[in-house]
Amino acid sequence: MDCVSPSETAPAWLPNAARLYLAHTEGGCSLRELARMEGCHPSTVLRQIRRVETRRDDPLVDEALTRLGAQARTARSRKETPPMTATIRVDRPTADDPTIQREARRILRRLNEPGAFLAVAHDMEKAAVLREGPDGHTSRVAVVERSVAEVFALRDWIGCRTRGRVTIYEITSAGRAALKRILAGDEARQSGQAEAGSPYGDQHRDWETATDEKAERIRYNRAESPLSILGRRRDKDGKPFLAPDLVAAGERLREDFEISQMGPRIAQNWERFLTGGQRGGFQPGSGPLNGPTDARERVVSALRDLGPGLGDVVLRCCCFLEGMEQVEDHMGWSARSGKIVLRIALQRLKLHYERLGEDAGLIG
């Protein structure tokens, strides 16, 4: 019986060790056959297969491999397909799909923030990114499809910290390196370079740059947003300068901003939404919205409600991730006044989301 190369029997995003594992356990390929196709010693293949087998105590890894194995057996059993030549079909997005790359950019950035982790419940179709604040308050800052989380686990971008009814995952060093490569490639494309300069070198750095509407380069630490920094500061009475519910409102706006894929270059003309009256789009009471287009409508609705000034400060601080000094300089405000305006803007934003209720979207 002939053995098919692992590259022909698994989706493109699957790591090579998992390909070998499925080819051996589901495809019936012997270690010697796999070693011959890979051009290595059988003991090397055996080590990779055993490494994958030991990871099956991870719920996401086990679910993904079980599903892939079942699809392989179904494909092989089809009468019109010769034995051992069926390919493993995947009915969920692959890593080559822009959806996976976009989700990796969005979710890994969130998991790279201090106190962030991914929670996966056994009976839930989606996973949630939660972040624990210095006061012990935990807020939900992002959601992701469970199938996407499975890809992250198989690629070793997230690792299991605790298991139970709710399993907790954290970003790994491999996940941070992947995030830096993705963002380095984004920066190269935005700057007009034909190729990313050195994505594997940039993965060892922890800074990021963005471009605002004046084509100015903004450099900041991607591991922490200005909002989370202000959320840790205390006033003279020892209370947080920004209450957890205000931070949650700003994070909700940022989540929609990232899902909408707007970016500074698109959002730079957002003022037209504030001065042109209602032009359709999202209306309170129209029901929950999902996807990039609907997320953009939610951002526009929130900025329109805040109006110029307050809308500017939340957009720049929560979405563009500009620091307070840069916001004050851009807006022409006096020093240390920006954070006061930001707090007022977040209070208005919180009221905006409270009025929408369940129509505000997934993050609450």
59-116 per-position pLDDT tens digit: 999 998 988 887 767 666 654 445 444 444 434 444 446 777 888 888 998 899 888 9
Q: Say yes or no: 355 and 253 in one domain.
A: yes
Q: Is the pLDDT of residue 361 over 60?
A: no
Q: CATH number, domain at 167?
A: 1.10.10
Half-sphere exposure of 91 (CA within 13 A, CB side): 7
Q: ∠ CA(94), CA(97), CA(103), 5° rounding?
A: 90
Structural domain includes residue 166 = yes
Domain residues for 230?
224-360
Q: Do residues 319 and 352 both lie within one domain? A: yes
Domain boundary among 175, 205, 235: 205
Instruction: Grade residue 261 by pLDDT with cuts at 50, 70 and 90.
Output: low
Measured CA to CA, the distance from residue 118 to residue 128 in angstroms comes to 6
> Does a structural domain hold residue 333?
yes
Position 102 in a domain: yes
Same domain, 287 and 165: no
Beta bridge partners, 265, equal none
- So what's the pLDDT on residue 10? 65
Q: So what's the pLDDT on residue 228?
A: 77
Q: Given 76, 101, 133, which residue is the final one in a domain?
A: 76
What is the DSSP track for 181-226?
HHHHHHHHHHTT-SS-S-HHHHTT--EEEEE-TT--EEEEETTS-H
Instruction: Looking at the structure, tell me whether residues 233 and 291 fall in a common domain.
Output: yes
| Range of lowest pLDDT (13-22, 133-142, 192-201) | 192-201
pLDDT higher than 60, residue 304: yes
Q: Is residue 39 part of a domain?
A: yes
Whether residues 339 and 246 fall in one domain: yes
Give 220's strand partners. Answer: 208
pLDDT, the chain, mean: 75
- The number of distinct structural domains making up the chain is 3
Q: Do 197 and 242 fall into the same domain? A: no
Task: Kindly state whether residue 210 falls inside one of the protein's structural domains.
Answer: no
* Neighbouring C-beta atoms of residue 171, cutoff 10 Å: 24
pLDDT of residue 293: 81
CA atoms within 13 A on the CB side of 184: 19
Let me know whether 269 and 335 are in one domain: yes
CB–CB of 63/75 below 8 Å?
Answer: no
Write down the pTM of the prediction: 0.61
In a domain? residue 319 = yes
Q: Are residues 231 and 353 in the same domain?
A: yes
Question: Is residue 136 assigned to a domain?
Answer: yes
Tokens of 38: 């890979």
199 in a structural domain: yes
Greater confidence (288 vs 106) lies with 106
Q: Please, are residues 212 and 218 in contact by the beta-carbon 8 Å criterion?
A: yes
71 and 99 co-located in one domain: no
Terminal CA-CA length for the chain:
55
Same domain, 128 and 24: no
Shared-domain flag, residues 198 and 325: no
Give yes or no: residues 278 and 179 share one domain.
Answer: no
